[in-house]
C-alpha cells in the first residue's frame, strides 16, 4: 500500500479517520492524501465571472488555512502528506481521486450509531462506499492504538464473493490478523439445512481455490447476527461486501435494522463486489 486517502470535513469523525490512517501509514511506510470537497454552491456559480472567481478564491484560501491547522497533529509527524481541495459535488469523485493518486485504501469517518443499515444509508459515507473501487475503512470513534488481531468476513457464500475473499484475506495479512469467515443462517422460512450449507461451502471453497474454514451462525436477522458474532468472537474489524450502486441496503435486504450497542462503533472494511 503506497498511499491512503482520507476525505475530511474538519469534523471530529474525520479526525478519527485521520488518526487511524496515520497509524496504518506509519506501520506500512505509506503516505496520506487528504481530500476536502469544497462544494462551492450554485449561487456562487451563478454570479458574474469576476464575482465567481473572487468568491471561489476566498473559499479556497479559507479551506487551505483550515487544512493547515487541521493537519498540525503530532501523530502525523514524518508521514508524507498531500492535500487536495476540489469543488466536487458528487461523491464518486472520491474514487477518482483515489485512483489518480494510487491510493490502496480510503479511510473515512462516520457518525452513524444505529447498526449497519443506519451506519451507512443516507450518509456521505454510504455515497462514497457505493462508488469506490478502492476498499473503504469506516471509523466511528477515536483509536489511540489501532490494532487488528482478529478480522471477520461476513459472507453469503455466493460464488461471486470469491474475488472479494482474496482481497479481505490480503488485508488480514496486511494487519497480521487472524481471519474468521462466517455465514449468518437466518432462522425461519429462509433457514438452510446442514446439507445445503455444506454444498455451498464446498462450492465456495472451490471458487476461491482453497479450503477455508467457514463458520455458520444461526440468528433471526442478518444484521444482529453479524454484530453478535463479532462480539462473541472478539472481532476488531468487520469486513463486508457492497454491491456498487445498489448500496449497503442490498446486503442487508430482509434484515432488521436494529442497534447493537456493543458493536455500534466497530470499524468496518467495505469492499465492492
C-alpha cell at 138: 469506516
Determine the pLDDT at residue 260: 33
Determine the pLDDT at residue 233: 95
- Each residue's pLDDT, cut to its tens digit, for the chain (273 residues) gives 899 999 988 888 899 999 999 999 999 999 999 998 876 554 444 555 666 667 767 777 888 888 888 899 999 999 999 998 887 656 678 899 999 999 999 999 887 654 544 444 446 777 788 788 999 998 988 998 999 999 999 988 889 889 999 999 999 999 999 999 999 998 876 788 888 999 999 999 999 999 999 999 999 888 888 888 999 999 999 998 887 555 444 454 433 222 333 345 789 998 888
The predicted model scores a pTM of 0.84
Distance separating alpha carbons of residues 21 and 32, to the nearest angstrom: 7
Q: What domains are defined for the chain? A: 1-146 (3.40.50.620), 148-273 (3.40.50.620)
Length of the chain: 273
Distance separating alpha carbons of residues 40 and 97, to the nearest angstrom: 18
Write out the DSSP string of 186-214: ESSTTPPPHHHHHHHHHHHHHHHTS---E
Amino acid at each position: 500500500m503506497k498511499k491512503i486517502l482520507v476525505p475530511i470535513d474538519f469534523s471530529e469523525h474525520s479526525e478519527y479517520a485521520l488518526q487511524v490512517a496515520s497509524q496504518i501509514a506509519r506501520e506500512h511506510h505509506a503516505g496520506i492524501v487528504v481530500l476536502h470537497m469544497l462544494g462551492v454552491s450554485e449561487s456562487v456559480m451563478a454570479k458574474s465571472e469576476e464575482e465567481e472567481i473572487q468568491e471561489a478564491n476566498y473559499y479556497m484560501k479559507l479551506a487551505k488555512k483550515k487544512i493547515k491547522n487541521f493537519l498540525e497533529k503530532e501523530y502525523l509527524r514524518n508521514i508524507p502528506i498531500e492535500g487536495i481541495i476540489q469543488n466536487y459535488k458528487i461523491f464518486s469523485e472520491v474514487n477518482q481521486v483515489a485512483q489518480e493518486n494510487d491510493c490502496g485504501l480510503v479511510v473515512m469517518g462516520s457518525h452513524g450509531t444505529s447498526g449497519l443499515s443506519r451506519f451507512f444509508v443516507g450518509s456521505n459515507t454510504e455515497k462514497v462506499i457505493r462508488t469506490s473501487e478502492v476498499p473503504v475503512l469506516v471509523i466511528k470513534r477515536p483509536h489511540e492504538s489501532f490494532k487488528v488481531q482478529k478480522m471477520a468476513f461476513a459472507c453469503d457464500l455466493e460464488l461471486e464473493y470469491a474475488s472479494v475473499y482474496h482481497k479481505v484475506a490480503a488485508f488480514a495479512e496486511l494487519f497480521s490478523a487472524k481471519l474468521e469467515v462466517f455465514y449468518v443462517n437466518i432462522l425461519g422460512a429462509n433457514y438452510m439445512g446442514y446439507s445445503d450449507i455444506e454444498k455451498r461451502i464446498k462450492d465456495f471453497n472451490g471458487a476461491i481455490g482453497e479450503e477455508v474454514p467457514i463458520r455458520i451462525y444461526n440468528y433471526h436477522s442478518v444484521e444482529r447476527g453479524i454484530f453478535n458474532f463479532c462480539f462473541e468472537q472478539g472481532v476488531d474489524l468487520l469486513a463486508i461486501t457492497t454491491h456498487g450502486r445498489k448500496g449497503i441496503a442490498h446486503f442487508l435486504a430482509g434484515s432488521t435494522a436494529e442497534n447493537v450497542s456493543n458493536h455500534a462503533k466497530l470499524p468496518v472494511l467495505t469492499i465492492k463486489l
